[in-house]
């Protein structure tokens, strides 16, 4: 094909080389989007309708409004193919939540980003067909590497959305035994029998830089630290607090509408917050 490939981006077709989305597109920053790939043979689509219906279901599941009706999408897919008429083609359709200043929570309704591209459908070689395909097995790691600060944050976005829906600040993830792991964008600590307890660093939690600061602050004032599994219904929980670069450390006083301790910021949380705030102030002064 001599003509340049054409891509649909939001409201029109452009040459593929000139097809861009904004750097604050949530697909780029959070993997906050969904997609479909449809095969097309000589202009005839393989199950286009079920693909588009699944796209709609995927959008609904993460509360993105499909920017076009299914009929309009079907027409756009046909236009995209007409501009890139490979004998055997695969049409890629991606919808993201849209462009917004980077934050897990989206405060305003966004215009979703819609991208459609068409490529030649790859065919297995004759050798591959003769020899057959090969494979390996791995334990299922999808997505079980929370220690990696990955941009694949769709689950965190969904957790934050649920928090907003329920009028709270953060969602905290539990493991299958109800141990508290961390928040969508925070680490969490409890004060249990006067000790500062937090989940140990493993694949289930991000090693927060602020988490380290909180632990160091606790050590500096002789608060005993336990990095171990813990749960909210454990006897002796009097305080909770969450830490992150953006919040330093903040007392968490209610979880699932239940008060933690007396439901007020506790002495340990406040002490640790004051230490961290002083460190930030010292940092500011060091530059003055
Ligand atoms: C899942 C998760 N845990 C913990 C944190 C806190 O990390 P830090 O203290 O380095 O900001 C974040 C921050 O984005 C996070 O996304």
If you measure from the C-alpha of residue 278 to the centroid of ligand 1, how many angstroms do you get, rounded to a whole number?
21
Alpha-carbon distance values, 233 to 1, 170, 237, 261 (Å): 65, 18, 8, 11
148 lines ligand 1 (CB under 6 A): no
244 lines ligand 1 (CB under 6 A): yes
187 lines ligand 1 (CB under 6 A): yes
pLDDT score, position 288: 81
Closest residue by Cα to atom 16, ligand 1, is 185
Closest residue by Cα to atom 1, ligand 1, is 185
209 lines ligand 1 (CB under 6 A): yes
Closest ligand 1 atom to 211 CA: 9
210 lines ligand 1 (CB under 6 A): yes
Q: What does DSSP assign to residue 200?
A: P
Could you give the angle at the alpha carbon of 34 between the alpha carbons of 28 and 36, nearest 5°?
A: 120
198 lines ligand 1 (CB under 6 A): no
185 lines ligand 1 (CB under 6 A): yes
Is 108:34 a contact under the CB 8 Å cutoff?
no
Structure tokens at 182: 């961390």
Closest residue by Cα to atom 13, ligand 1, is 185
CATH number of 154-287: 3.20.10.10
If you measure from the C-alpha of residue 183 to the centroid of ligand 1, how many angstroms do you get, rounded to a whole number?
8
Measured in degrees and rounded to the nearest 5, phi and psi for residue 9 equal -130, 110
- Which residues are marked as active site? 149
Which helix (H) or strand (E) element contains residue 37?
A: strand 33-41
Closest ligand 1 atom to 182 CA: 3
Domains of the chain, residue spans? 6-122, 154-287
If you measure from the C-alpha of residue 209 to the centroid of ligand 1, how many angstroms do you get, rounded to a whole number?
7
Picking from 185, 173, 181, the residue whose alpha carbon sits closest to that of residue 105 is 185
Q: Rounded to an integer, what distance in angstroms lies between the CA atom of residue 49 and that of residue 57? A: 12
Architecture of the domain whose range is 6-122: 2-Layer Sandwich (3.30)
46 lines ligand 1 (CB under 6 A): no
pLDDT score, position 39: 96
If you measure from the C-alpha of residue 238 to the centroid of ligand 1, how many angstroms do you get, rounded to a whole number?
23
pLDDT score, position 3: 84
Three-state DSSP class for residue 233: coil
Which helix (H) or strand (E) element contains residue 119?
A: strand 113-120
Closest residue by Cα to atom 12, ligand 1, is 185
Closest ligand 1 atom to 156 CA: 1
pLDDT along the chain (288 residues), means of 10: 88 96 98 97 96 98 96 97 97 98 93 98 95 93 95 96 96 98 98 98 98 98 98 98 97 98 98 98 94
Q: Looking at the DSSP assignment, which residues form a beta bridge with residue 25?
A: 99
């Amino acid at each position: 094909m001599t003509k340049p490939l054409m891509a649909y981006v939001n409201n029109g077709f452009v040459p593929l080389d000139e097809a861009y989305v904004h750097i604050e597109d949530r697909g780029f920053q959070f993997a906050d989007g969904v997609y479909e790939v449809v095969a097309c043979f000589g202009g005839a689509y393989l199950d286009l309708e079920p693909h588009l219906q699944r796209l709609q279901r995927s959008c609904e599941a993460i509360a993105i409004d499909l920017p076009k009706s299914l009929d309009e999408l079907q027409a756009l897919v046909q236009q995209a193919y007409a501009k890139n008429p490979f004998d055997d083609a695969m049409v890629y359709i991606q919808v993201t939540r849209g462009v917004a200043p980077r934050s897990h929570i989206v405060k305003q309704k966004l215009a979703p980003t819609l991208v459609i591209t068409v490529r030649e459908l790859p065919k297995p070689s004759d050798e591959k067909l003769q020899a057959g395909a090969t494979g390996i097995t791995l334990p299922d790691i999808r997505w079980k590497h929370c220690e990696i600060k990955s941009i694949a944050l769709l689950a965190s976005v969904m957790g934050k959305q649920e928090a907003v829906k329920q009028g709270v600040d953060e969602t905290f993830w539990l493991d299958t035994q109800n141990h508290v792991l961390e928040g969508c964008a925070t680490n969490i600590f409890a004060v249990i029998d006067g000790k500062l307890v937090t989940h140990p660093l493993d694949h289930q939690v991000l090693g927060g830089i602020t988490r380290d600061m909180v632990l160091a602050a606790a050590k500096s004032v002789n608060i005993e630290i336990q990095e171990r599994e813990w749960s909210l219904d454990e006897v002796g929980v009097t305080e909770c607090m969450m830490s992150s670069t953006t919040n330093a450390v903040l007392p968490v006083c209610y979880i699932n509408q239940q008060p933690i301790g007396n439901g007020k910021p506790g002495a340990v949380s406040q002490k640790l917050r004051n230490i961290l705030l002083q460190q930030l102030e010292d940092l500011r002064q060091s530059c003055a």
